[in-house]
Amino acid sequence: MRGSYFPGYFLAAIVTDQLVAQVFTTVIDGFGLWSFVAQGKGTRVVFHHVASGNLGDEMLARVFHWRGLLENLAAFCEGRCAPFEKGQYGAGRLPQGIRHTTCPEYVESKGRWRVRGSAGV
């Protein structure tokens, strides 16, 4: 798989068919844990990004971009074109569960949501 618009990282650990741990070296801080869980005839991918910089609008921006990465991974596995390129979702129908095409749209919508009194993302 070829990637662009990704932060630099190195792989710290691989547990075959279960887990990949990566440590980020550029653009963002922290580490990522990729878990692979058998689900029926497929596999569910769960990603956790643990970092001190996961605060406020920066955290919202990271959530938006990680979702894009996961959508591209799903598209690659399913033989589809990657919907997330250069930081935004391309023209056409948005993937299921995605409601905003750009990071600023996503952050702005969550800002309005937080103002109404909710603490979660």
58/31 Cα distance (integer angstroms): 16
Residues 6+ apart with CB under 8 A from 73: 1, 45
Would you place residue 119 in the very low, low, confident or very high pLDDT band (cuts 50, 70, 90)? very low
Longest dimension (CA), the chain: 44
Over residues 16-44, the mean pLDDT reads 91
Residues 10 and 23 sit within 8 Å (Cβ to Cβ): yes
Alpha-carbon torsion (42, 32, 10, 56), positive or negative = positive
Could you tell me the pTM of the whole model? 0.75
The domain ranges of the chain are: 9-115
- For residue 6, the model assigns a pLDDT of 66
Mean pLDDT of the chain: 83
Percentage, residues of the chain above pLDDT 90:
27
Would you place residue 91 in the very low, low, confident or very high pLDDT band (cuts 50, 70, 90)? low
Q: What is the DSSP letter of 8?
A: -
Residue 121 reports pLDDT greater than 80: no
Instruction: Return the bridge partners of 70, or none.
Output: none
Would you place residue 51 in the very low, low, confident or very high pLDDT band (cuts 50, 70, 90)? very high
74/115 Cα distance (integer angstroms): 33
